[in-house]
């Protein structure tokens, strides 16, 4: 596969469930990002990893827990979510700090519904 | 902090005509990057065009071109010969050292293309 992939594409979970979102990039990039995209709201940056180190945590509630085991994989672990967490979760990658950040490459997103 | 403003929540255009989407930004930096991304309905966000601030020449990519006015901090996107497939949400974004190379996105402009 090429580019940035995300699984699952759709997820419905109850407020007491635990689930994980997965992102994988096949571009040789060093920086990876999680965004939340809700209807009628701006794109919200959640987390940034550069060379596997978290460089940004944009005041995200602790019920969202990121994990970046290597530069190609990024996870978002979810637990005890709220209905307002329902949104499209986008993963992106870029070359990262140390080179040029340039543009981001986005995955197709995971449509999350919390019931 | 850097800000990116897209003042047009929605724009419409007739097929084969030309439309211009507006974007203004605020930065104290002299060297940075500006981008336009396209997010079609239920599809992946992709880069449309990129402009490097130190380049005076406006970027072009086939039917897409920008009008970059550095002094005015303006970065508009012109779509010529509009096609039905151009219908999408368009995001303007800034990336540069002032924001620690974390991209700043505008709120987006929804483009409707009428046949």
Q: For testing the chain B interface, which of A27, A32, A102 should be mutated: the one with the most B CBs within 10 Å?
A: A102
pLDDT reported for residue A63: 95
> For residue A101, which residues of chain B lie inside 8 Å, CB to CB?
33, 95, 101, 103
Residue B89 pLDDT > 70: yes
Per DSSP bridges, beta strands B74-79 and B64-69 are antiparallel
pLDDT reported for residue A102: 73
Question: For residues A50 and B9, which has the higher predicted lDDT (pLDDT)?
Answer: B9
pLDDT reported for residue A55: 80
Q: Who among A56, A105, A107 is closest to B102 (CB)?
A: A56
The dihedrals phi and psi of B9, each to the nearest 5 degrees, come to -65, -30
What mean pLDDT is predicted for residues A10-38?
Answer: 94
> For residue B101, which residues of chain A lie inside 8 Å, CB to CB?
97, 101
Q: Who among B35, B43, B108 is closest to A103 (CB)?
A: B35
A103 touches B at CB < 8 Å: yes
Q: Label each residue of chain B as H, E or C.
A: CCEEECCCCEEEEECCCCEEECCEEECCCCCCEEEEEEECCCCCCEEEEEEECCCCCCCEECCEEEEEECCCCEEEEEECCCCHHHCEEEEEEEECHHHCCCCEECCCEEEEEEC
The tens digit of pLDDT for each residue in B27-46 reads 988 888 999 999 999 889 99
pLDDT reported for residue B17: 98
pLDDT reported for residue A103: 87
pLDDT reported for residue A98: 55
Residue B99 pLDDT > 70: no
B98 touches A at CB < 8 Å: no
A102 touches B at CB < 8 Å: yes
pLDDT reported for residue A104: 92
The tens digit of pLDDT for each residue in A40-98 reads 888 999 999 988 888 877 789 999 999 999 989 999 999 999 999 999 999 999 987 65
pLDDT reported for residue A41: 87
> For residue B33, which residues of chain A lie inside 8 Å, CB to CB?
101-103
pLDDT reported for residue A56: 78
What mean pLDDT is predicted for residues A4-10?
Answer: 96
A107 touches B at CB < 8 Å: yes
pLDDT reported for residue B97: 76
**Helix H or strand E segment including A84:** none
CB contact under 8 A, A102 and B33: yes
How long, in residues, is chain A? Answer: 115
pLDDT reported for residue B43: 86
């Amino acid at each position: 596969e090429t580019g940035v992939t995300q699984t699952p594409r759709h997820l419905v979970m109850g407020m007491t469930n635990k689930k994980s979102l997965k992102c994988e990039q096949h571009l040789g990039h060093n920086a990876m990002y999680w965004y939340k995209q809700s209807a009628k709201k701006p794109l919200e940056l959640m987390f940034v990893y550069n060379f596997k180190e978290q460089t940004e945590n944009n005041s995200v509630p602790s019920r969202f827990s990121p994990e970046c085991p290597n530069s190609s994989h990024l996870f978002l672990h979810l637990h005890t979510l709220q209905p307002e967490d329902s949104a499209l979760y986008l993963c992106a990658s870029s070359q990262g700090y140390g080179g040029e950040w340039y543009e981001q490459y986005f995955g197709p997103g995971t449509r999350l519904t919390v019931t | 902090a850097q800000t990116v403003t897209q003042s047009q929540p929605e724009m419409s255009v007739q097929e084969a005509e030309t439309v211009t989407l507006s974007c203004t930004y605020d930065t104290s930096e002299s060297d940075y990057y500006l981008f336009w991304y396209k997010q079609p309905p239920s599809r992946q966000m992709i880069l449309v065009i990129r402009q490097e601030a130190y380049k005076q020449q406006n970027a072009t990519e086939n039917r897409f071109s920008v009008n970059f006015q550095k002094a005015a901090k303006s970065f508009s996107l012109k779509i010529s010969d509009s096609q039905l497939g151009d219908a999408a949400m368009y995001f303007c974004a800034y990336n540069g050292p002032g924001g620690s190379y974390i991209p700043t996105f505008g709120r987006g402009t929804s483009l409707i293309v009428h046949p």
